[in-house]
């Protein structure tokens, strides 16, 4: 008994050390991601030419699976810096590729919504570029950085196991100390005790990180939320108080609940809100240049595929293989997305409009979302093993868990912009049941829901490399019969880079087409309905 207790204690200490090293890599990746995001996000928002290049490229890169960066990591980083140093830098780089994109877009969004008066005051008080960055730009983007960093942390944890143990061909790489490797080892040996203890310690670190880092970070950043008067006072101590220029698009819902004559007098030609970097009312040459960049990327993809076909007859067969795999993956992803909507929408509506304990639910979901499906995968596989089509069930659960939090958190973010009297309006007009869903709930959450849908589906495509084929070393933990994620993993493992590249090209082209034909149109329609 004493020996068993000593053994468990040693195991716990070892796992705590493993998790500590992983957390160091995670924080290093997050720190680099935040610095890169602030620089690129602000630069893209303040320079129109750079905006038309950076944003479309990032929009594509955020949907490219982390597996696409493996060859770069292995042949450049590990090849240049062999040994433990190279592997650790490679792991940090891989985690950065999963973290950085949404923080950049968050910074960019915050800058585009920066009221124009701040620029005018900067000029009035003669602030230098450095002072403007420190007193205006940085406070403006901090709330978004904090918000997106929490999400990026969860995304990074999702790929922690994959990042800490990666391979190509016959070459396998793994960090000597890390919770990803520690969780992978019990998954191979089947040690329930080791896996259970690793999972408990992992969850403890997640909770501690939430309360000791992200909560203080969010509290600090919230001081500058909505470009408050306090921020303005700090940036311009002698400035007079200006009228509030930020008006929530969701507040238009109130005008649409009551009688029609409440909105009959609105002018359709009302001026646009005056933002420093988001007040362009007409299509400019740079706007057209942005479309040119997007279509040029699509043209490069098409030309690349055509070149492959011309240079190698094998590529024709590869293309048919890729298309078949996409049909299967597309079906799985959109079925999981349907369930995500069925679960995420009622939960979000309940938290926003019904319960009085929304902060408790949000905190619970933030902790729960930080436990990635990759860490739970051994338990999921063990629980479903022996069931019919268990490989498909495992893939479906991983797809669902990878995207559901985007739906919930993006929808919940709308609560911050809702007018406080919206529920009073609901009571005044006696809106109940299905009518409340139609006139209030759906109209209120649609903007956040669309954003969550875009990012959630992108996360599902990224998760395909884990959901459809997950191997640790030589052991295959879970797999489906056919799928684009499985095709990517196997093509890289076989050093078949042309097939892997062709698969990525097809995936990128499909994502650009769907974003352009579906999501962008929905955004434009929402702007007309809710915009000012």
Half-sphere exposure of residue 169, counting CA atoms within 13 Å on the CB side? 7
Cα 144 from Cα 128, distance rounded (Å): 24
Please report, in angstroms and rounded to a whole number, the separation of the first and last CA atoms in the chain.
Answer: 71
φ/ψ of residue 172, rounded to 5: -115, 140
User: CA–CA separation, 196 vs 188, rounded Å?
Assistant: 14
Are 36 and 100 in contact by the 8 Å Cβ rule? The answer is: yes
pLDDT digits (tens, 9 = 90+) for 128-148: 778 778 778 888 888 889 888
Which helix (H) or strand (E) segment holds residue 20: the answer is helix 2-46
Distance CA 425, CA 446 (A): 19
CA separation, residue 504 to residues 170, 208, 375, 522 (Å): 22, 37, 26, 26
| CA-based nearest residue to 199, from 377, 372, 375 | 375
Maximum distance among all alpha carbons in the chain?
81
Q: Would you say residue 241 has pLDDT above 50?
A: no
CA-based radius of gyration for the chain: 25
H helix or E strand, kind and range, residue 384: helix 373-384
Flag whether pLDDT at 177 surpasses 60.
yes
- Bridge partners of residue 275, in order along the sequence: 115
The count of residues in the chain is: 532
Q: How far apart are CA 418 and CA 352, in angstroms?
A: 10
pLDDT in tens, 46-101: 888 888 888 878 877 877 777 777 777 877 787 778 778 888 888 899 899 888 98
pTM comes to 0.73
The yes-or-no verdict on residue 365 having pLDDT over 60 is yes
Residue 400 has pLDDT above 70, yes or no: yes
Rounded distance between C-alpha atoms, residue 185 and residue 188, angstroms? 5
Say which range, 171-185, 347-361, 453-467, has the weakest mean pLDDT: 171-185
| Residue 530 contacts residue 447 (beta carbons within 8 Å) | yes
CB 410 within 8 A of CB 448: yes
**DSSP-assigned letter for residue 159:** T
Q: What percent of the chain has pLDDT over 90?
A: 14
pLDDT at 482: 92
Q: Is the pLDDT of residue 326 over 50?
A: yes
């Amino acid at each position: 008994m004493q020996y068993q207790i000593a053994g468990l204690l040693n195991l716990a200490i070892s796992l705590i050390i493993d998790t500590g090293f992983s957390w160091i890599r995670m924080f290093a990746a997050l720190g680099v991601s935040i610095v890169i995001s602030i620089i690129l996000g602000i630069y893209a928002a303040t320079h129109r030419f750079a905006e038309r290049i950076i944003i479309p490229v990032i929009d594509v890169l955020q949907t490219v699976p982390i597996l696409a960066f493996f060859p770069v990591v292995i042949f450049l980083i590990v090849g240049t810096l062999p040994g433990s140093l190279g592997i650790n830098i490679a792991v940090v780089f891989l985690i950065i590729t999963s973290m950085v994109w949404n923080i950049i877009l968050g910074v960019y969004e915050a800058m585009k919504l920066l009221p124009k008066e701040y620029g005018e005051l900067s000029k009035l008080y003669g602030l230098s570029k450095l002072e403007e960055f420190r007193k205006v730009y940085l406070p403006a983007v901090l709330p978004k950085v904090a918000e997106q960093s929490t999400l990026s942390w969860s995304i990074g944890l999702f790929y922690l196991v994959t990042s800490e143990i990666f391979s190509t061909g016959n070459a396998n790489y793994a960090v000597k100390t890390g919770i990803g490797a520690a969780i992978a080892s019990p998954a191979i040996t089947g040690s329930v005790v080791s896996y259970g203890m690793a999972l408990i310690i992992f969850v403890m670190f997640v909770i501690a990180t939430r309360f000791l880092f992200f909560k203080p970070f969010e509290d600090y950043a919230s001081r500058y939320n909505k470009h408050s008067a306090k921020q303005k006072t700090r940036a311009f101590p002698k400035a007079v108080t200006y009228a509030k220029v930020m008006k929530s698009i969701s507040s238009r819902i109130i005008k649409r609940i009551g009688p029609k004559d409440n909105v009959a007098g609105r002018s359709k030609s009302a001026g646009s809100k005056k933002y420093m970097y988001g007040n362009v009312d007409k299509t400019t040459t740079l706007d057209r240049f942005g479309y040119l960049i997007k279509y040029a990327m699509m043209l490069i993809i098409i030309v690349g595929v055509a070149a492959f076909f011309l240079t190698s007859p094998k590529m024709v067969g590869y293309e048919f293989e890729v298309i078949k795999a996409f049909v299967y993956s597309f079906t799985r992803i959109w079925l999981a997305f349907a369930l995500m909507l069925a679960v995420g929408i009622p939960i979000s509506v309940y938290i926003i409009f019904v319960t009085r304990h929304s902060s408790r639910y949000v905190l619970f979901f933030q902790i729960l979302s930080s436990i990635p499906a990759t860490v739970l995968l051994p338990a999921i596989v063990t629980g479903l093993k022996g069931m019919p089509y268990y490989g498909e069930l495992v893939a479906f659960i991983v797809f669902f868990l990878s995207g559901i939090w985007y739906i919930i958190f993006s929808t919940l973010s709308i609560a911050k912009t809702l007018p406080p009297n919206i529920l009073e309006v609901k009571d005044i007009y006696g809106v109940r049941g299905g009518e409340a869903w139609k006139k209030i709930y759906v109209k209120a959450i649609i903007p956040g829901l669309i954003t969550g849908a875009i990012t959630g589906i992108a996360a599902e495509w990224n998760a395909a490399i884990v959901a459809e084929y997950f191997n640790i070393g030589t052991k295959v933990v879970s797999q489906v019969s056919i799928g684009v994620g499985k095709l990517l993993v196997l093509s890289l493992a076989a050093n078949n880079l042309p097939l892997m590249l062709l698969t990525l090209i097809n995936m990128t082209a499909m994502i650009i087409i769907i974003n352009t034909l579906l999501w962008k149109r929905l955004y434009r329609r929402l702007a007309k309905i809710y915009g000012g």
